[in-house]
Structure 1
Amino acid sequence: MKRWLLVCLAVLSMVALLTGCGSDTAKQGKHMNVGLYWFGETLDPTHEWDAWTLTRIGAGETLATVTPDMKFAPQLADSWENVDPTTWKFHIRENVKFQNGTPMTPQKVKESIEYTMKQSARSAKAVKIESITVDGQNLIIKTTEPNGSLLSSLTEPAFVIMDTADLKDVATKPVLTGPYKIKSFTKGETIELEAFADYWGGKPGLDSVTVKDIEDNNKRAMALQSKDVDVIQKVDSANRSLFKDGFNIQDISGVRVFMLKMNQTAASPLHDKDVRNAVAHIINYDSMAKIIGNGSTPGAAPFPPSANLGYDTIANKATTDVAKADQILTQVGYAKNANGVYAKDGKELSLTLAVWGKDTSMYEEIQQELKQAGINVTLKKLQSPDEVDTLGTDGFDLVERNVITMSTNDPYWFLSLFYKTGAKSNVGGYSNPQVDALIDQLSVTFDQNERSTIAKQAQQILVDDVADIYLLYPSATVVSTNKVKNVPAHPIDYYLLTKDSTIE
């Protein structure tokens, strides 16, 4: 009898233990760990470029979105109409809730857009909105002038729609509309998310998500290889061999460019176009593409071939030719001194290259190439990309930039932000009245073929001016375990997780 009682107690204990385990498993549900290469300083959509993280992690949404085949598609607006050159009508999707349960009304959308414009000068400049009025379920947007880029500008993640009545935690937990709701944010470390049960698009494919900030390429690859994460963005060539059986690699032609912006003010030797041209001919573009790897292609113009803006027709694209660089510098009065360094009027040609990423291997290679050719280069380490726009033209000669050229599926955003005279991100002080005029013309042109023609003309002038050095065009890459489903690579890499993303 005693033995029978002990057996019964043991069985009951095992049942209780198994039941408990089952409860923990059910509570955990489908969880995905994601490794990103950059977070941003905050999760405030209006702060610098931090909103790009919000669309990557499936937390934030805009009125319209861009599909992988680079087409505009409805999101929080289910239709829109360009009524006249300065009037747009957006029909706001019904039955959408914010992640705090508040209904997303046209009035709420209006308040969100207006808040973004107030907090972000670059966003306000892009949309050129004069007024927004609510007409039933529609928003009527009036622009200060014809703006052919309004729709594309509103797809930029800074314009994710948020509940501006609940801003107390906007830097860490903005209240948005996406399938995943932010639970916590630890700067430079993790973002924890949970499925938003009332998501307008249906039940999300995951119950929870942990997003990790892993900026080092090797550490990010090792995290996936060891299954510490399930999916990552970006992997370099050296680490691709880690991912064979049991992994899935997706590559797609991207619209991003790695470039060096050049200081063209009188404070820098690069004020001289001939010096800029010489520097551009020293850099080995094939080497740059190999360092980044992953199907990256050597750069030569602002827009990559995938942007369909006449890349193959652009003349005078920079190529590696050290002998030509020497000829150019000699013609403008430079000669190598006893140290093997180019000098003019007794002053050596020395440049400061400002970099901000944790992986500086490509920029160290550039430093060595220029040094071997006879140009001194000092690397200046910045703490974050946010510092670039406030660097000041006396703080650098060359500065690292890594930019999506068609982030809103339109060339205007990139051209106006980086090449318009006086624009915030035009940190090198580039100025050409012809380019300014073309950017202005692009703004008021609605026909897509005409817009492409204008962008091609601007691109040719930028190349002729040696406005910047275009190092390479990386592919957009997503690598995951085979258990991950529906996390596609997108040409615009601030799109990643969706409602359909899941894990087996």
Structure 2
Amino acid sequence: MRVKTLSKQFDGKKMSTTGVTMEMTKKGIGRIFATMLFAGLLAAALTMVGCAGNDASTESKASSASTEKTLHAGSTTYFYAESMDPASDWDSWYLSYYGIVENLCKVSDDLGPEPWLAKQVERQDDRTWIVTLNDGIKFSNGKSVDANAVKTAWERTYAENSRATEVLDYESLEADGNTLTITTKEALPSLENTLCDPLLCVYYVGDDVNYAKSTPGTGPYVMKEFKAEDHIVMVPNENYWNGTPKLSEVTLTCFADDNAITMAMQNGEIQAVAMPSASTLTTLEASGDYQVSQRTNSRADFIRMNMTHPLIQNDAIREAVAYCIDRNGYADTICKGSSTASWGVYSPTLPFGGTDGLDVTVSSCDVDAASKALEAAGIVDTDNDGVRELGGTPVELDLYTCTKYERFVQLADDLQSKLAQAGIKLNIVPTDYFMEDAETFAKDDPDMALDSYAMAPTGNPAYFANIAFASTSSNNFGKYSNPDVDALVAKLNTTFDESERNTIAKQISQKVLNDLPFVFFANSESTVVYDKNVSGLDAAPSEYYFVTVDTDVK
């Protein structure tokens, strides 16, 4: 296998692929030593206090210590916030997952919207919505939350994040006490779903806030210590409006690989794993020592094509790649049943997903079909070196994959082998970062990149279409453009009838399957593994929530 290893720069330092494991080991040793030292000092202190006759004070302190509840969870992919700024890139998603920020509405377990910070959301007409906030909500800094606070937060987010207008393109916001009036530029049937998007979370805006380091939110926990893409330590929000957080401290740690996080769980260094790999899940589940929460979500794993590259622009080459992906092998063997093979675009669990009613060209892994497609397009191996040429140029492609996704690394190896049989040379380029922004994609300029997205985290079929399928959308890194798709996306955004919306989503799916700017090959599930004394860490099908006010340790 030919590989080229890259490391992304963060604050002038390369991310270590072993640092987390070493750090966790050091922390584990440090904790043992500290515990022994503390135990000795505490015993001595209690003896002296007992001699002084201060039994009541001793009992009070011991009782306080016994009520301390801490949770330490780990993940190889889900705790990688780059900052504490909800308006920066995708950091609002992480802050929602951590339990630091909240939205006007939240996603229920059946992928529908329900009120959260909002008491109710009412549609006045096709473009006007009235949102009434709950009373008594405060930010973690003690400042009150009213409609103007929501308006101010959104205005800052829109100024900082280009994705915001794709999420909600409003014409005006009017605040009056606890009432927020939202007027959209076009009819927006999915506003309640849209209000669940973490990018529209509510946070405090003020001159005294260093957003990157610590932004006051309304969630049950607040940041105590934070190191970007490494770990975060949180404590209860003393001003939380919707109950009492049950934990005294929460630590969420990023792990470099699956072996490290599996060992940390087995050794008791952590008590939970968010979105474990198939190997970690299999190992931990087999022991019978842990609880597993698993729910079907809308996430899809896919290959993103760079439509600006001449070789990728060739229809037969993209079709050959699609034929050489062993989707069943990926789902059953690599993912060990935690994913299902996909031949369409959206997950079949969604009313607009699956392949029913679609004309699916690629419906099996077929290297011979890939070869025939290339032959028919005149892409042949003229010099008999095993690699076909297009217009005299060898068909050699670079596939970028983040090593934090163990499943992608294994798929890339298999795809490399199958494409070689079809006459395409595939170079695998492993990275230790996610290609989740246009700047990174443009800088690396890959032919193809493996990626994974929640396609409809609020049940709204327009979500992914708006951020990835439309020609000018923020996450259309590969520059796919089809005027028919653009028109269908615009129509979807203004259609209220649910049945018609599902039909339009199917039409978009057909166009994407025909053009193959993406190859969607699997749908996965939300999974959390945790100790038997942990509760309130249920897997959320939206993937927006992890730590909540109900998270507890017995």
Superposed pair shares fold, TM > 0.5: yes
Q: Does 2:298 align with 1:269?
A: no
Q: Does 2:550 align with 1:500?
A: yes
Aligned to 2:482: 432
Shift in Å at residue 420 of structure 1? Answer: 0.2
Shift in Å at residue 123 of structure 1? Answer: 0.9
Shift in Å at residue 411 of structure 1? Answer: 1.4
Alpha carbons of structure 1 residues 283 and 9: separation in structure 2 relative to 1, 3 Å: closer
Find the partner of 1:327 among 357, 372, 397: 372
Give unmatched runs, 5+ long, in structure 2.
1-46
Aligned to 1:245: 288
CA distance in 1, matches of 2:401, 2:489: 28
Identity %: 28
Asked if 2 retains the 8 angstrom alpha-carbon contact of 1:92 and 1:137, the reply is: yes
Shift in Å at residue 195 of structure 1? Answer: 1.0
Residues 121-145 of structure 1, C-alpha deviation per residue, up to 9 Å, x if partnerless? 1112321111101133210111112
Residues 91-125 of structure 1, C-alpha deviation per residue, up to 9 Å, x if partnerless? 01110000000111111111011111111111123
Shift in Å at residue 301 of structure 1? Answer: 1.9
Find the partner of 1:31 among 54, 70, 78: 70
Q: Does 2:390 align with 1:344?
A: yes
Alpha carbons of structure 1 residues 283 and 26: separation in structure 2 relative to 1, 3 Å: same
Find the partner of 1:135 among 161, 170, 176: 176
Aligned to 1:361: 410
Asked if 2 retains the 8 angstrom alpha-carbon contact of 1:166 and 1:175, the reply is: no
- Map residues 93-492 of structure 1 onto 2, 5 A cutoff: 93-165=134-206, 168-239=209-280, 240-243=282-285, 244-265=287-308, 267-289=309-331, 290-313=333-356, 314-316=358-360, 318=362, 319-336=364-381, 337-358=383-404, 359=406, 360-382=409-431, 384-385=433-434, 388-390=437-439, 391-392=441-442, 395-492=445-542
CA distance in 1, matches of 2:534, 2:208: 34
Asked if 2 retains the 8 angstrom alpha-carbon contact of 1:179 and 1:498, the reply is: yes
CA distance in 2, matches of 1:242, 1:400: 27
Alpha carbons of structure 1 residues 194 and 276: separation in structure 2 relative to 1, 3 Å: same
Shift in Å at residue 454 of structure 1? Answer: 1.1
CA distance in 2, matches of 1:35, 1:144: 42
CA distance in 1, matches of 2:65, 2:210: 30
3-state SS in 1 of match to 2:101: coil
Alpha carbons of structure 1 residues 94 and 64: separation in structure 2 relative to 1, 3 Å: same
CA distance in 1, matches of 2:329, 2:436: 27
3-state SS in 2 of match to 1:408: coil
Shift in Å at residue 273 of structure 1? Answer: 1.5
Aligned to 1:12: 51
Asked if 1 retains the 8 angstrom alpha-carbon contact of 2:327 and 2:521, the reply is: yes
Give unmatched runs, 5+ long, in structure 1.
1-7
Shift in Å at residue 81 of structure 1? Answer: 1.0
CA distance in 2, matches of 1:27, 1:310: 50
Residues 12-37 of structure 1, C-alpha deviation per residue, up to 9 Å, x if partnerless? 38998993895496287111111132
CA distance in 2, matches of 1:354, 1:388: 14
Residues 373-407 of structure 1, C-alpha deviation per residue, up to 9 Å, x if partnerless? 32111233445335642223981211122100012
Shift in Å at residue 268 of structure 1? Answer: 2.9
Alpha carbons of structure 1 residues 346 and 498: separation in structure 2 relative to 1, 3 Å: same
Shift in Å at residue 500 of structure 1? Answer: 0.9
CA distance in 1, matches of 2:239, 2:121: 25
Aligned to 2:14: none
Alpha carbons of structure 1 residues 365 and 147: separation in structure 2 relative to 1, 3 Å: same
Alpha carbons of structure 1 residues 363 and 22: separation in structure 2 relative to 1, 3 Å: farther
Shift in Å at residue 293 of structure 1? Answer: 3.2
Aligned to 2:123: 82
Aligned to 1:4: none
Shift in Å at residue 87 of structure 1? Answer: 0.8
Shift in Å at residue 196 of structure 1? Answer: 1.4
Decide which moves more: 312-321 or 23-32. Answer: 23-32
Output the aligned Cα RMSD. 2.4
Shift in Å at residue 315 of structure 1? Answer: 2.4
CA distance in 2, matches of 1:450, 1:122: 26
3-state SS in 2 of match to 1:303: coil
- Residue correspondences, number: 496
